[in-house]
Amino acid sequence: MGATAGSMDPDAGSSENAQRWARFIATCLIGGTVIGVSLLGLHLGIPHQPSLKIWRRKKKPVRVYMDGCFDMMHYGHCNALRQARALGDQLVVGVVSDAEIIANKGPPVTPLNERMIMVNAVKWVDEVIPDAPYAITEDFMRKLFDEYKIDYIIHGDDPCVLPDGTDAYALAKKAGRYKQIKRTEGVSSTDIVGRMLLCVRERSISDTQNHSSLQRQFSHGHSQKLDDSGSRSGTRVSHFLPTSRRIVQFSNGKGPGPDARIVYIDGAFDLFHAGHVEILKHARAMGDFLLVGIHTDLNVSANRGAHRPIMNLHERSLSVLACRYVDEVIIGAPWEVSKDMITTFNISLVVHGTVAEINDFQKKEGNPYAVPISMGIFKILDSPLDITTTTIIRRIVSNHEAYQKRNEKKANSERRYYDDKAYVSGD
């Protein structure tokens, strides 16, 4: 007997139900909802099947590479690394070997182990490659691409020319894997060495003559000195122009939590070096938030001599801010740590390293840490490295002839850069 109009075919009904559910699932999938096949199986009474999963391919991070000598590392180096990091997701930094620097530029002031400490401490750096070559060779470029998964090689807009006159980044440019950032003007390692050499020349002149403080020259960008031949030395003295935007770019932008243990350490932090980095790392480990006080140029000059600081207050502040162990700085911190200051910043612990140029923390009278000592919140930390700013200056003085020659050579290329420079986007 044939089926009448009102009859129900079980198989046909099951088929229609399956079709309706299939259309519903398709609609859900289009809307971005994933429904497991196991749910469908439960409704239709079919055997359980493994869950249906839609895998989304993770976006590959963009890895960028920047190399350099990073000798006497300063805020200009840090700003270059900040800009490079902004062009990708991960920044890999190559630190050129001592031998390569000697062959291409002259003797480095700071050895590789200290330069590695400095670069590793920069908060925008994700990975560091020691003993990197000065020039990007075919083999090394292939290693960067294949082994380190580098997408782009970064350098500043200032030229990097090898002794034979060729571009150190020619191969990267040819491969289409090169990106350029804007050079941070107002400072360079050559400039800083020049400031110290200028300091040496000033000291060799009779003290009976009235010479203006080098600290004031450095802070206000005065007088390029004449050498014995009467020609300009090429040393550019602190042409740094501090801006509020630069401070913001270097800042973490986060304050301490309500229950954070705030550790305070202060100092000049002149010629920011590996010794500074290590004591800051040690201090940060003592709490949850590290606040660093940077003394004024006037205080540093009054306590450490008229030729100090080599770097002015804003230059020193940026170098400290770039350190990954530092959470915040006080620009122009008072020499004495007062009760009001401790209360204002909710400081839990004041620390000082054992290696220091001035041992005021050991004095009984006129001790700048008298208040935190009386409150029982002062602690002396063993400095991991026996390095001070004077250590760096002595390295320059002991080999000043070699550095003078190196600077004269580099000054020519820097002069050409400033003569030919054009506006480059970036910051």
Per-residue pLDDT of 222-231, as tens digits, reads 333 333 333 3
Of residues 306 and 407, which shows the higher confidence score?
306
Instruction: State the alpha helices, DSSP H only, in 330-388.
Output: 339-344, 370-374
Least confident range of 67-71, 224-228, 401-405, 418-422: 224-228
Distance CA 193, CA 199 (A): 10
- CATH topology of 63-181 equal to that of 244-387? yes
Ordered by start, the domain boundaries in the chain are 10-44, 63-181, 189-240+390-420, 244-387
The span from the first CA to the last CA of the chain, in angstroms, equals: 87
Distance CA 216, CA 244 (A): 22
Per-residue pLDDT of 77-86, as tens digits, reads 999 999 999 9
The confidence score (pLDDT) of residue 21 equals 59
pLDDT at position 260 over 70: yes
Band of pLDDT at residue 194, cut at 50, 70 and 90:
confident
**Is 300:218 a contact under the CB 8 Å cutoff?**
no
For the domain 63-181, what is the CATH code?
A: 3.40.50.620
Q: Rg of the chain's alpha carbons, rounded to an integer?
A: 30
Architecture of the CATH domain 244-387: 3-Layer(aba) Sandwich (3.40)
Percent of the chain with pLDDT over 90: 52
Distance CA 89, CA 338 (A): 43
The confidence score (pLDDT) of residue 396 equals 84
The confidence score (pLDDT) of residue 115 equals 98
Distance CA 190, CA 403 (A): 9
Per-residue pLDDT of 147-193, as tens digits, reads 999 999 999 887 777 777 788 889 999 999 999 998 876 677 777 87
Q: Strand, helix or coil at 198? A: helix
User: Which amino acid makes up residue 214?
Assistant: L
Mean pLDDT of the chain: 79
Per-residue pLDDT of 332-352, as tens digits, reads 999 999 999 999 999 999 999
**Is 128:97 a contact under the CB 8 Å cutoff?**
no
The confidence score (pLDDT) of residue 306 equals 81
Per-residue pLDDT of 88-142, as tens digits, reads 999 999 999 999 999 888 889 999 999 999 999 999 999 999 999 988 899 999 9
Distance CA 249, CA 269 (A): 20
